[in-house]
Amino acid sequence: MDFVITLAIIVIKIAVVFGAVLFHVAYATYFERKIIGRMQARYGPMEVGPHGLLQPFADMIKLFFKEDIAPASADRPLFYIAPAIVVISAMTALSVLPFFDRFVIADIDIGLLFLLVITSLSVYGIVIAGWASNSKYSFLGGLRSAAQLISYEIAMGLSLVGVMLMAGSLNLSDIVRAQHQHPLGMFAFPQFLGFFVFVVAAFAETNRAPFDLPEAESELVAGYFTEYSGFRFAFFFLGEYVAMLTMSAVAALCFLGGWTIPMFMTNAMPFLSYVPGIIWFLVKVYAFMFFYYWIRATLPRYRYDQLMAIGWKVLMPLAFVNVLITAFAKRWL
């Protein structure tokens, strides 16, 4: 009986998290178009519902009724499997994220490691999509994307080592608690170098501007999902936005203090401690998402050789230096 109750709680938690994340993905697309529109001095979506608020649902319905085309020369089984891999790996990653104190689907000790592992599985989906489509654009896009993802994964993994050193744990809840105990309240301050590397790598890992070369419209049409249409295209889209939200959540949890706020802030303004943790967490995630859009509206795309040079020649040495400095500071300061 106990087991059934535990199981029911897990299932309810998963339903809540999936529902919340899908809702956020729908409105992340809306706000992206709206914010970038405003930054370019236009309105963005306005027609469907007041201020275009129903636009995500209209898009969803449209995508479902679109014709599902698989090119005759495509490798059918792989072509069908690829979007599923991307979405399943992106959504499974949500299971270790603590949204507020003691609310996490799976409170495992190696949360951060699991997150790195499961998010990097989406590379398989991308490479398979690029290969199976049997189209030149998809093929090149898939290759480019794979090379980009694996290059920046090293920098990202190394940038998080500083956080692991400071927290002494891989459990994401423990990392947040360690930040709360730290006098500065957020690892983004003592780990500013790591935070910088993480932010740049997070942009590259999610294929977002200014590192959106795999889907560089002007040269590769849509990159690895050129041949996809209808709901299979929607799955890639969904996977990308879930990955963006996951990255924002990791940034919030590992560098910005998760659901807590620094103690010096609650000491100065005691009323802030009455605000529930989920609000702080969401504020941080939204801020990071806004940063994604802001960068997309601001910076032009890098060239491919520049992209590789940034990953291998700038971020990686910086991350190594950060690890050594952090270890030194932890041992002697």
Q: How far is the CB of 262 from other proteins (least distance, A)?
A: 23
By CB under 8 A, is residue 325 in contact with other proteins? no
Residue 275 CB, nearest distance to other proteins (Å)? 28
Rank residues 2 and 274 by Cβ distance to other proteins and give the closer one: 2
**Cα(126)–Cα(314) distance, rounded to whole angstroms?**
26
Q: Does 175 bind other proteins (CB under 8 A)?
A: no
Stretch that binds other proteins, among 9-17, 196-204, 205-213, 256-264 (CB under 8 A): 9-17
Candidate residues 25, 115, 140, 197; the one interacting with other proteins per rule CB under 8 A: 140
Residue 84 or 279: the one with the smaller Cβ distance to other proteins is 84
Instruction: Determine the Cα–Cα distance for residues 127 and 138; give it in Å rounded to an integer.
Output: 9
Q: How far is CA 272 from CA 100, 112, 265, in A?
A: 16, 28, 8
Which one of 38-46, 58-66, 177-185, 199-207 is the stretch in contact with other proteins (CB under 8 A)? 58-66
Told to check if 18 binds other proteins by CB under 8 A, we report: yes
Residue number, 123 or 186, with CB nearest to other proteins:
123
**Cα(110)–Cα(166) distance, integer angstroms:** 15
**Nearest Cα to Cα of residue 237 among 117, 59, 116:** 59
Among 31, 53, 107, 184, interactor with other proteins by CB under 8 A: 107
Out of 16, 23, 102, 109, which residue is the one contacting other proteins (CB under 8 A)? 109
At closest approach, how far in Å is the CB of 279 from other proteins?
24
- Which residue's CB is nearer to other proteins, number 44 or number 133? 133
Site for other proteins in 223-282 (CB under 8 A): 226-227, 230-232, 234-235
Tokens representing 5? Answer: 């109750």
278: left (phi over 0), alpha (psi -120 to 50) or beta: alpha
Cα–Cα dist 159/317, whole Å: 10
- The answer to whether 55 contacts other proteins (rule: CB under 8 A) is no
Query: Please, which residue, 147 or 295, has the CB nearer to other proteins?
Result: 147
**Shortest Cβ 187–other proteins spacing (Å):** 13
Q: Which of 157, 180, 182, 297 binds other proteins (CB under 8 A)?
A: 157
Q: Does 95 contact other proteins by CB under 8 A?
A: yes
Angle separating helix axes 316-332 and 192-205, nearest 10 degrees: 150
Angle of the 230-254 helix axis to the 2-39 helix axis, nearest 10: 100
Stretch that binds other proteins, among 88-96, 205-213, 269-277, 290-298 (CB under 8 A): 88-96
- Which residue from 112, 101, 92 is spatially nearest to 17, judged by alpha carbons? 92
SS3 category, 275: coil
Whether the Cβ atoms of residue 134 and residue 74 lie closer than 8 Å to each other = yes
CA 90 to chain centre: 9
Residue choice 40, 73, 274, 300 for contact with other proteins (CB under 8 A): 73
Judged by beta carbon, residue 37 or residue 71, the one nearer other proteins is 71
Hey, what are 206's tokens? Answer: 């999610």
**Cα-based distances in Å from 51 to 24, 56, 222:** 17, 12, 28
| Residue span binding other proteins (CB under 8 A) among the ranges 90-98, 201-209, 277-285, 287-295 | 90-98
Q: Are 93 and 246 in contact (CB under 8 A)?
A: yes
Asked whether the bond before 50 is cis by omega within 30 degrees of 0, the reply is: no
Total residues interacting with other proteins, rule: CB under 8 A: 81
Binding window for other proteins (CB under 8 A); candidates: 50-58, 144-152, 266-274, 291-299: 144-152
